Structures are given as C-alpha cells and as structure tokens.
Structure 1
Amino acid sequence: MNVIIIEDEKPSARRLQRMLLKMNVEVSTMLHSVEESTTWFQNNEHPDLIFLDIQLSDGLSFEIFETIEVKSSIIFTTAFDEYALQAFKLNSIDYLLKPIDEEELQTAVTKYNALKTVAKNVQLNFEDIKKLLSNPVEREYKKRFTTKIGQHIKMISIDDIECFYSENKGTYAHTLDGRDYLLDTTLEELETELSPKTFFRVSRKFYININFIKDIISYTNSRLQIKLNSYKEQEVIVARERVRDFKVWLE
C-alpha cells in the first residue's frame, strides 16, 4: 500500500508516520503545503491512500485537487468542528480529529483495507465540502448536564462549567464553585455536544471553557499551560500538536 501524508505541521506529520509504522503501514512521502503537494501530484504516481490535513500553511488542501483529478482514497485529519464532518463522511474513507488517537487511526486503516476496491470509485466533491466549511449549519449544543448525587439528580448549566476532564476512566465537570461532578459520558462524546466557540479540547484529558481562562503561560516542549479561575487539582497543558489550533481558537 502506497501512503502519503499531507500535513503542514511537521511534528504532527512525523507523529502520524510513527503511529502508522506501528501498524506496518509505511509512508512513502510527506508533503507540507498546497504548492508542494500540487507539484508532487503533477510529477508522481498517485498513492493508494492520502492522510489529508484540511488547513495547510498556504491555503485549504482542497486547492490541490482543483486542477488535479484525485486517484487516491482519502482519510481526513482535521481539527474542524463536527458540522463539517458530515461532508467528510460522504466524501472520504474516514476522518480523524486531532490530536489523532491510535485506536481511531487503526479503525480508519482497517476500514480502508475493507473498502479499498469501492473507495477507488468514490467521487470526491470538494466544492460541496468547501461550501460547508464556509457556511456552517447552525446547530444546537448541550445547555446542561445531569449527575446523580445520592438519590438526587442535579442539573449543571453549561455556563457554570470551567472544564471537563478525565480521570480513572471517569469524565468529570469542574464548576465555578470549585466542585467536581462525575458525568455519564466521555470526552469523545463531548466533541459533538459542546460548542466549539466556547470549549476546546487542549489534550486527551481536558476540555476548557474560554470564558474561564485566567492565564496562559509558555511551557516546556513548545506547549502552553492554562490557568483557570478555580480548577487547581492538576496542571492543564495544551498538547504540543494542539497549540497552533488553540491559538487560532482564541482569536
């Protein structure tokens, strides 16, 4: 299987390459921009599978294919919100939200292997995806969560939650008053339930609310440390591969 990665963040590209190598999937080429990728496709045989980042340093990766007929299957790697993923589901083998999880990557590769004969005949409609990215459909996000306390059910307003975090296989909401509540959900499930304008997943362990960020501090290995108003139990660190997306989210 001939595989390439198109990703402008070189550390993220190398991390994905290492993860694929563990699965005995060898990456033949890594490309980092629209311009570089366009030139490469014009002069090389198209691969079987592309791991494609959406936002590259010099534009949307869809621009690569405006003058080039796609002859490869695609797995999107993206930090875009769930609204756009509806189109990705229809136009690709799969999509992976950053930071990429190894189990989800394995599932996507397995899915490709199972569908690769069909996948070659999939017609990718990049114009539809670009329109969806430019004009997202407004959707409703959760306004409250419930948790059981003894024999009682407590409602927690989303506006009172500083952060969500995982610990010992449980998912907790930390509120303004400094209390922590165990929820019947996972951080992965929260990805489609939280407004991306308000909440950001800074790492595998934390979702934070932009309204309760007290301070942002430079940290080791090009990471960032977040100080929230009341949460002080553990350090909240923005994973290195999420720093760029985090800065964009802040703006």
Structure 2
Amino acid sequence: MKVLIIEDEKPAARRLARLLGELGVVGPIMLHSVEESIAWFHDNEHPDLIFLDIQLSDGLSFEIFEEVEVHSAIIFTTAYDEYALQAFKLNSIDYLLKPIDDEELEAAFKQYQNLATNDKKLTLDFDDIKKLLVNPLERDFKKRFTAKVGQHIKIINADEIECFYSENKGTYAATIDGRNYLLDTTLDNLESDLEPKVFFRVSRKHYVNVNHIKDIISYTNSRLKIVLNRFKEQEVIVSRERVRDFKLWLE
C-alpha cells in the first residue's frame, strides 16, 4: 500500500507518519508544498491514499489538482471549522481536524480500508469544495446563547462572550462581566454555531473571541499564551499544532 502525506509543517508530517506506522503503514512519502507535489505526481505512480493538508506554504493544495488528475483516495487534515467541512461529507471524503487525534486517525484509516476492500471510488468535486473554503457560504451564526440560572433562563449575547471553555466535562461561556455560565452543549457542537472570523478554537479546551484578547505572549514549547480582559479561571494556551493557523486567523 502506497501512502502520501502532503503537509507543509514537517513536525506534523513526521508525527502523522509515525501514527500511520503504528497502523501498519510502512514508509509513507512526505511532500511539503504545492510545487513539490505537482512535480512528484508528474514523475511517480500515484499512491493509494493521500493525507492532504489544505493550506500549504505556497498556496491551497487544491491547486495541485488543477495541474494533475489524481484518482487516489484522500483524507484531508485541516484546521477549518466543521461548517466548511460539511462539503467533504457531501462528497464522501473523510477529514481529520488538527491536531490529529490517534483514535480519529485510526477510524479514518479503517474507513478507507473498507472502501478499498469494497472497491468503492470517492468522487471528488474540488471546485465546489475550494469555493466553499475560500469564499464560505453566507449564513447566520448564533448571536445569542442561553444558560439556566436557578429557575431563570439567562440570555447571553455572543459578542459579550470572551471565551468558551470546558471544565469537569461541562462547557462554559465566560462573559465580559466576569461571569461563567454552564451551557447545555459541547465545544465540538459549538463549531458550527460560531462566527469563524470572531471565534477561534485555540485548544481542545478553549474557544476565544478575538475582540476580547488583551495580550498574546510567547509561551513554552513554541506555544502562545492568550490574556483575555476578564477571564482568569484557566490559562488560555494556543496548542503548538494550532499556533500557525491562529496567527493566520488573526490576520
């Protein structure tokens, strides 16, 4: 079985290769840019499976397929929000959100193996997916959330929320008045509700509102620490795997 990893962050590519090795994949090939990938596809037999990062250092990976007709199965590795990734589901494409979880990788790999065993081909409409990611569809994101406070229902405006965070299996909204409200949802479920230009998931535990960031500080292990205006209950750390995407989001 021939596997190709296209990922511009070399540490992330090496980690993915190591995880695939644990699943029995021997010697996956690693490429790191659009230009390098196009040249490789012209000169080599195409692989059975591609793990494809969307945003590469020299452009979107979709540009590869504008130059080369590829019939390999593809699993995307990306930091794009869940709403944009609905296009992948419609096209029967699997995807992994960064940082890649071991169990999710194993499940995606098994899904590919099942498709390959049944000789099913994935039909990819790259033009439609590219349009959705580059120019996201207009939609209304949630402007208000509710939380139960005693016998009352509290209405919380999204622009008043500094961050969403998880603690003791609960999900909370931390507001500009220093209050923390328990919500009947999860951080994963919030992904399709939040305006991606305003909220960013910096780690498995935190979503932050760009309008309430007071300071950003370099932190250990190439991470970043975010200081919000009022929220003090937890340290808000941008995980190393998300630092690059976070910086791009800020711009």
Name the SS of the counterpart of 2:146 in structure 1: strand
CA RMSD, 1 decimal: 1.8
Q: Relative to structure 1, is the Cα distance of residues 211 and 128 closer, same or farther in structure 2, using a 3 angstrom cutoff?
A: same
Asked if residue 198 in structure 1 is aligned to residue 179 in structure 2, the reply is: no
Corresponding position of 1:53: 53
Distance 1:205 1:83 in 2: 19
Identity among equivalent pairs (%): 73
Deviation (angstroms), 1:111: 1.6
Contact kept, 8 Å, 1:83 with 1:136, in 2: the verdict is no
Q: Give CA-to-partner distance per residue, 1:61-96, whole Å, 9 cap, x none.
A: 112122322121001111223443232223353112
Q: Which amino acid letter does the alignment assign opposite residue 249 of structure 2?
A: W
Asked if residue 70 in structure 1 is aligned to residue 70 in structure 2, the reply is: yes
Corresponding position of 2:132: 132
Deviation (angstroms), 1:120: 5.4
Corresponding position of 1:214: 214
Matches within 5 A, 1:72-111: 72-111=72-111
Contact kept, 8 Å, 1:147 with 1:184, in 2: the verdict is yes
Residue segments in structure 1 that go unaligned for 5+ positions in a row: none
Deviation (angstroms), 1:118: 5.9
Name the SS of the counterpart of 2:84 in structure 1: helix
Corresponding position of 1:184: 184
Q: Which amino acid letter does the alignment assign opposite residue 217 of structure 1?
A: I
Contact kept, 8 Å, 2:83 with 2:191, in 1: the verdict is no
Q: Relative to structure 1, is the Cα distance of residues 112 and 234 closer, same or farther in structure 2, using a 3 angstrom cutoff?
A: same
Q: Relative to structure 1, is the Cα distance of residues 201 and 77 closer, same or farther in structure 2, using a 3 angstrom cutoff?
A: same
Contact kept, 8 Å, 1:161 with 1:209, in 2: the verdict is yes
Give runs of ≥4 in structure 1 deviating > 4 Å. Answer: 117-120
Matches within 5 A, 1:29-48: 29-48=29-48
Distance 1:67 1:60 in 2: 13
Corresponding position of 2:166: 166
TM, length-normalised to structure 1: 0.92
TM, length-normalised to structure 2: 0.92
Residue segments in structure 2 that go unaligned for 5+ positions in a row: none
Distance 1:157 1:27 in 2: 50
Deviation (angstroms), 1:233: 1.9
Q: Relative to structure 1, is the Cα distance of residues 143 and 119 closer, same or farther in structure 2, using a 3 angstrom cutoff?
A: farther
Q: Relative to structure 1, is the Cα distance of residues 113 and 163 closer, same or farther in structure 2, using a 3 angstrom cutoff?
A: same
Deviation (angstroms), 1:17: 2.2
Distance 1:33 1:120 in 2: 29
